[in-house]
Chains A and B, each alone.
Chain A
Amino acid sequence: MSLERPSPFAAVLETALAWALGALWLAPLLYAVWTAFHPPDFATRFDLFAPLTLDNFRRAWEAAPFARYFLNTVAIVAIVVFAQIVLGTLAAFALARFTFRGRDLVFALILLQLMIAPEILAVANYRTMRAIGAVDTIWGIVLPYLTSAFGIFLLRQTFRTVPQDLEDAARIEGCGTLGVLWRVYVPAARAVYLAYGLVQASWHWNNFLWPLIITNSVETRPLTVGLSVFASVDQGIDWSVITAATLMTSGPLLVAFLVFQRRFVQSFASAGLR
């Protein structure tokens, strides 16, 4: 039982445990894949030689406007991630490199959002959206998320690691404030942008509660809300079609994850831990 070489028995046991856990963690997804790719008759019966089919996906696609839902989700994710990065960069730069009265107070007030997520304030935010006519619009979904305390916090930390000399040099070359930001700070934070972007994209792809509250039509609903409407039908549940729809909804994210697995894992680690 020495540190360097565990006994063969312990090693086998550990591997077995690790894999048992892994199997348990993958099982739900595999089961969903199985059901989605086989005819409904086999949804409740496991048969290794059951015929494969894409029919469930076709039926799901035709039964609900998933194309529109995809479009909405992509628009929401794109707007939110883009706005958070741009607005976060501007604000973080001010907080990292400018000295002015009230800075610490502003920073503290911003950090309040870390604690009170937009969904907690849904009732009051809903009233605001109603007042400005943003209920049931894409803008209504994204507005509370356009800037993020977490993003500002993360970028501020990153900007502060940039050597002051680099900024000074750029200033001497005649760069203005925005020029300095663009030439010096933005390139320095490239890895953070990627990590943060990935995390936020997957978070907003999956976001459910606020879009559920603020939308009530096909034209604005994202995939998650569309899926929940689709799955709670009056006429009984057809598991094959629902699992197909479920996989479709998470498909792009899942594929992106499998392709960029390492990047994803690192992003979640770094964008959460800094």
Chain B
Amino acid sequence: MDVAEIISHHILDHDWGVTLSGFRIPVTTHTVTLLIVSLVLLLGLHWISLGRQSRAGRLLTTLMEEYVSFIRDGIVLPNMGKEGKSFLPYFCTLFLFVLCSALAGLIPNMKTATANISVTAGLALCSGGLILYCGLKFHGILGFLKGFIPSGTPGWLVPLIFPLEVVSMIIKVCVLAIRLFANMLSGHMVLICLLLIIFVVGQMHIAAGAGALVPAMGLELFMTCLELLVAFLQAYVFTLLTSIFAGSVIHTH
């Protein structure tokens, strides 16, 4: 097994090959990770929401209220205004889902689901759907389409500007997917490459491999801490950009 194969094996999704009446069921390492994350979030948040009277229960309830307050006052309301309040559950779920999917990769035998372009594309499509829904809900079809034309645009420029603005919005949604995917993937590739340094150097000489162990593990630890930071940062960025894009169609020019 060469280095490229090792990296591919570590990074790529693995289909478990489940079929039902000849129809392929997408049971893969990443989808299983997503399901586990969803189940943990559902059970955990439901338990917290019941408002247990134990000390841990009260602490977690307060923590979640602070979290909701952060999403509402720090992300949703500044970008979407009061109209965004009804979408608060969506954004609260989005942040935790992206964060936990990324953090799941730090648990042994689990994968970072957001390092899969299909997963991030799915999340970006959900965000795109939300943006579309916001535009249609608050402005109607014509109002939403008018929103793509900046105010003060001369009439003869409209046929040029309108498709550009539509493509711009589509690109924004695509970039949401690519940004998250690339950040998560690159972090994991760096982690596996740092580990492979030990084996590559070790193949040259066993003593050299032993010598590379300590610096490689130090870098590995540093990168793992960086991955933690990146997981929080990307979850925040994904949620923030979704709210900004949705806010831009609610409050047009």
To the question of whether A and B form a pair in one complex, the answer is no
Residues of chain A having any CB pair with chain B under 8 Å = none
